[in-house]
């Protein structure tokens, strides 16, 4: 049994803490309640929906994991997940080095830095659907300059968005073009926080530019790197509007990532239970990627 004087001391400390932070907690409490409502209520309702089946008369019944098992046995859904992983990895493999390169440029103080900062941010400022339509116009077989250039170089016409490989490449390039400005901002902020004296000491010791980047810049921007990897992965995994604007998942199912499949099932075919199951499948895939990223960051 706790002694009386210790219990009184605990209560006194609790009262002092409440008097100190209670007003601040009372101010943020409405925001926390609203966030919980708008975050947890859709999650719980979506989970319940994914465990149900809806009949043609509108009645629902509990079916457990049946919707998930049906999807996992479906070759189309497995292809959706594969394309989502290809989309994520293709985006990150190329946008991350580009983001580091541009972050190094804008973090240096030289004439014209502000121009480069504004120019690099343009892809991120443009609305996703607008940029997707812009890319679609660029590869249009009749009026697109990219299609015309390919025809001039190779002598034959290539219908880019009608070819499964080229269509997926176009989507990945568009994802790279949109992702690297956001990554660049975070990485540049991390680079500017590194003391200049560390680089100067490394130069005195004879370290090359690559060694300074590998042993100073990269380790000291791990926090920013982890943030951008998680955020860009989540954005790419959930990206349905840009792919829908460019290819609608075609030709066939060759660019139908899981997010586009969810869009088709839930909002076009009105198979809400299947759509909810796909949504939780995306959450699971995102959790796997986050676990891999955090493990890689800790290993470095």
Q: How far is CA 68 from CA 51, 53, 72, 80, in A?
A: 8, 12, 6, 14
Successive 10-residue mean pLDDT values, the chain, 300 residues? 51 66 77 83 86 83 90 93 94 92 81 72 85 90 83 80 91 92 89 88 87 88 88 90 92 93 91 91 86 74
pLDDT value at residue 175: 93
pLDDT value at residue 1: 46
Please check whether residue 168 is in contact with residue 255, taking contact to mean a CB–CB distance below 8 angstroms.
Answer: yes
pLDDT value at residue 192: 87
Task: Report how far apart the first and last C-alpha atoms of the chain are (Å, whole number).
Answer: 48
52-55 long-range Cβ contacts below 8 angstroms, 24+ apart: 52/273, 53/273, 54/272, 54/273
- Token pair 């991350």 in the structure block, residue: 96
pLDDT value at residue 12: 67
Q: Which fold has domain 71-299?
A: MetI-like fold (1.10.3720)
State both tokens at 143: 């009026």
57: three-class secondary structure by DSSP: coil
146: three-class secondary structure by DSSP: helix
Q: Is the dihedral of CA 67, 72, 73, 77 positive or negative?
A: positive
83 — alpha (psi -120 to 50), left (phi > 0) or beta?
alpha
Please check whether residue 133 is in contact with residue 187, taking contact to mean a CB–CB distance below 8 angstroms.
Answer: no
Q: How far is CA 188 from CA 103, 149, 183, 217, 264, in A?
A: 5, 35, 8, 10, 38
pLDDT value at residue 96: 92
All structural domains of the chain with their residue ranges? 4-50, 71-299
The model's pTM is 0.84
Q: Is the dihedral of CA 149, 127, 228, 116 positive or negative?
A: positive
Nearest to 106 by CA among 49, 53, 194, 181: 181
pLDDT value at residue 4: 45
Side-chain-side CA neighbours of 235 within 13 Å: the count stands at: 19
Q: Which residues contact 222 (CB under 8 A, 6 or more apart)?
A: 297, 300
251: cis peptide before it, omega within 30°?
A: yes
């Amino acid at each position: 049994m706790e002694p009386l004087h210790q219990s009184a001391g605990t209560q006194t400390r609790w009262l002092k803490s409440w008097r100190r932070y209670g007003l601040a907690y009372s101010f943020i409490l409405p925001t926390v309640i609203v966030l919980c409502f708008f975050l947890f209520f859709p999650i719980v309702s979506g989970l319940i929906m994914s465990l149900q089946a809806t009949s043609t008369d509108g009645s629902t019944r509990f079916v457990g994991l049946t919707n998930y098992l049906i999807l996992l046995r479906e070759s189309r859904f497995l292809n959706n997940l594969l394309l989502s992983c290809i989309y994520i990895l293709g985006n990150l493999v190329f946008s991350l080095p580009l983001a580091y390169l541009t972050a190094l440029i804008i973090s240096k103080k030289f004439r014209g830095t502000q121009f480069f900062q504004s120019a690099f941010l343009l892809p991120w400022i443009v609305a996703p659907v607008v940029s997707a339509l812009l890319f679609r116009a660029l590869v249009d077989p009749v009026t697109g300059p990219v299609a015309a250039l390919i025809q001039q170089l190779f002598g034959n016409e290539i219908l880019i968005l009608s070819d499964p490989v080229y269509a997926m490449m176009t989507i990945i390039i568009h994802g790279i073009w949109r992702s690297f400005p956001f990554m660049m901002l975070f990485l540049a902020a991390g680079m500017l926080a590194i003391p200049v004296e560390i680089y100067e000491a490394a130069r005195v010791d004879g370290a090359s530019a690559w060694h300074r980047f590998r042993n100073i810049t990269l380790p000291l921007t791990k926090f920013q790197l982890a943030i951008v990897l998680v955020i860009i992965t989540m954005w790419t995994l959930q990206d349905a509007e840009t792919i829908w604007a460019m290819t609608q998942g075609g030709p066939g199912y060759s660019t139908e990532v899981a997010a586009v499949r969810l869009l088709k099932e839930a909002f076009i075919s009105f198979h809400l239970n299947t759509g909810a199951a796909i949504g939780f499948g995306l959450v699971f895939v995102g959790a796997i990627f986050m676990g891999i990223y955090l493990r890689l960051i800790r290993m470095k």
